[in-house]
Structure 1
Amino acid sequence: MIMDIRPRQVPVFLVVPPRALLLDIAGPMEVLRRANMEQAAVHFQVTYVGPSSDVLSSVGLGLTGVVPLPARLPDGALVVVSGAVDQPLGTVADARDTDAPLEAEIVDWLQRSIRSGIRIATICSGALLAARAGLLEGYECTTHHSMLSALARLAPTANVRDNRLYVEDRERLTSAGVTAGIDLMLAIVTREAGHATALAVARNLVLYLRRAGADPQLSPWLEGRNHIHPAIHRAQDAVAAEPARSWSLASLATVTSTSPRNLSRLFNEHVGMSVTDYVNRMRVAFARELVVGSRLDMDSVAERAGFSSTRQFRRAWNRIHDATPARLRASAA
């Protein structure tokens, strides 16, 4: 039997608006480019689309080769709508009025093209285009802090959230300004290609402070990774890829090609905690996802996260979280 080892394709269509904010495009798409290099199971196939083939970006650099907005999107597509600025660097006049027909074309295309099974992710002011298309009505969403009131006006039935890096509500994903688009794309990579890939991408891009959408604090998956020691990163990658595995100091020492004693010393020096504490924190992070994202009972959560008992799981959980797993699940419902 011949096995099909071709990667699963994720079609991504990035909408390039007039006066495109360059970091809204380059940041998230660099995450996807690197994700394609880090693994072979999933391939993000990116196409840049828009109403104009040539766009002047926010920093005055011209973007070319943008293809027309497609007549129909394939099933399972991800549409990314990037943001725009009032005035690109080096221009002397506000181009918003002359660009209005192009923005209207994007809005009309979004209205016609986004259907069930198509995810839309907005970066910064891209949320305003999605709102004008009526795609955020009844959804939780966010945008750059300076545009929250405008978003609320454009989507009166939406639940516009402030102080959020990004918000995921079913097939609508919205992010705050500029670099938050990178955080959102790392979350998408995590979902499509796994934590290990997202961690490798973040580390390669020197994004040690990757954050979670609902809270501005450090993501537990990148806690203790603001160092550049390759052996420790190898150990952390191994734990992140299989947090439920029975990791011992000796088994991780084998992964890192160092002695258990040296690995223990390096962890305390560079990570600021012991190997056991680090493994337990990763298991708690994995368990938190199971608590929020499933209806598994706590015995099953503990087992899947690699804890020997529910009691051990609760002890590890209580060292990190104030709320019990049950309360967290109830608040996230």
Structure 2
Amino acid sequence: MHILDLGGPMQIFASLTELDIADIKIQCVGPESHIKSYQGIFLSAIAPLPKRLIAGDVVVVVGSKIQAELPATPAQQQVTQWLRDIGGKLPSGIVIASVCTGAVLLAQAGLLDGRLCTTHHNHLKTLQQLAPQARVISKRILVQDGPIYTSAGVSAGIDLALHLITQYFGSAISARIARENLIQFRRLEADPQLSVHLSYRNHQHPLIHEVQDWLAQQTVQTPLNESLSAQFSVSYRHLSRLFMKECGISLKQYQQTMRLDRSRQLFMDTDWSIERIAEHCGFASLQSFRAAWRQHETLPPSKWREKQRQDSQGLR
């Protein structure tokens, strides 16, 4: 077992409790109560593998020095059988995720058959051999297919944890946790698109982070110069220059991008009309929404929604 495979996601998830966002329980489970990591650190008080899972549980299978050409160790065999047992009758609301070579155990348990998946670049070939019915994807940091999440090597577990927090708690929360842990966001070309909440957070200016947090809560069409100056007691001109310097995008562009990001989520999650979504996201009119949409998307909103839902169904 690799320390960062375990410690990275644990730190991110633990931040939910540390920051008083959510009271979650983190538990290390496995076939042995004491193990030695590949880095030489001993871990103890590991709980037994649970006999059942309940809705809301997230299982993260971390990587280890697995050599597929050699017989599996007794511990690996136990984990594989446990995954096979719970995966065969996976209740709704449960997620199984892997970091690095944790995907190998998912493959051996048959959980990747017919699914999209990835792993550390050095083990892609092995993963395909173990799961010939899976679609193994290279050059990806993380891949989601239904309730199964797989990620690339080592530090990708941090990206995976932030992605899960985004899905459970929203982009603003994951951005806050990333900022508290000084995480720099990265994505490869084909990875899931980052939310605007995360895309412009790779800076350390506290005032600009406060502005971004505040803008994330605003849906009304309020003039930026008036509302921002009143909220932060800073001239709009100074704030605009500072925002552009730190984020590489203007305040107005950022606000529009954020509103479009929110509209995309509503198109996927609701059956609201275009008019209702445009109004809810703070656009002054349907025409202004359509004009902004055309700057970023090739398909009109209704066709975009239809395609997203078809693609989502295709992964199941």
Bucket of the pairwise TM-score, normalised by the shorter protein: 0.7 to 0.9
Q: Aligned runs of 1:164-175 on 2, under 5 Å?
A: 164-175=140-151
Which residue number in structure 1 is paired with residue 313 of structure 2? none
Q: Aligned runs of 1:132-281 on 2, under 5 Å?
A: 132-211=108-187, 214-215=190-191, 219-240=195-216, 242=217, 244-247=219-222, 248-281=224-257
Which residue number in structure 1 is paired with residue 81 of structure 2? 108
Amino acid at match of 1:246: Q
Give percent identity, aligned residues only.
38
The structure-2 alpha-carbon separation of the partners of 1:218 and 1:70, relative to structure 1 and needing over 3 Å to count, comes to: closer
Q: Aligned runs of 1:48-127 on 2, under 5 Å?
A: 48-86=28-66, 100-114=73-87, 115-117=90-92, 118-127=94-103
The question of whether the paired residues in 2 share the 8 Å contact of 1:183 and 1:211 is answered with no
Q: Deviations over 1:221-273 (max 9, x none)?
A: 22332221111100101223x25343523323344342333322321222223
CA RMSD for the aligned pairs?
2.7
Q: Tell me, what secondary structure is at the counterpart of 1:262?
A: helix
Report the number of matched residues: 305
Q: Deviations over 1:153-181 (max 9, x none)?
A: 22222222222221222211111222222
Shift of 1:47: 0.4
Q: Tell me, what secondary structure is at the counterpart of 1:315?
A: helix
The structure-2 alpha-carbon separation of the partners of 1:84 and 1:277, relative to structure 1 and needing over 3 Å to count, comes to: same
Provide the C-alpha distance between the structure 1 equivalents of 2:68 and 2:121, rounded to a whole number of angstroms.
Answer: 23
Which residue number in structure 2 is paired with residue 3 of structure 1? none
Provide the C-alpha distance between the structure 2 equivalents of 1:55 and 1:278, rounded to a whole number of angstroms.
Answer: 47
Provide the C-alpha distance between the structure 2 equivalents of 1:301 and 1:161, rounded to a whole number of angstroms.
Answer: 34
Provide the C-alpha distance between the structure 2 equivalents of 1:162 and 1:174, rounded to a whole number of angstroms.
Answer: 12
1:302 is aligned, of 259, 263, 278, to 278
Which residue number in structure 2 is paired with residue 25 of structure 1? 6
Shift of 1:78: 0.9
Deviates more, 1:123-132 or 1:317-326: 317-326
The question of whether the paired residues in 2 share the 8 Å contact of 1:35 and 1:198 is answered with no
The question of whether the paired residues in 2 share the 8 Å contact of 1:167 and 1:213 is answered with no
The gaps in structure 1 that reach 5 residues or longer are 1-19, 87-93
TM-score normalised by L of structure 2? 0.85
Q: Tell me, what secondary structure is at the counterpart of 1:23?
A: helix
Provide the C-alpha distance between the structure 2 equivalents of 1:38 and 1:202, rounded to a whole number of angstroms.
Answer: 12
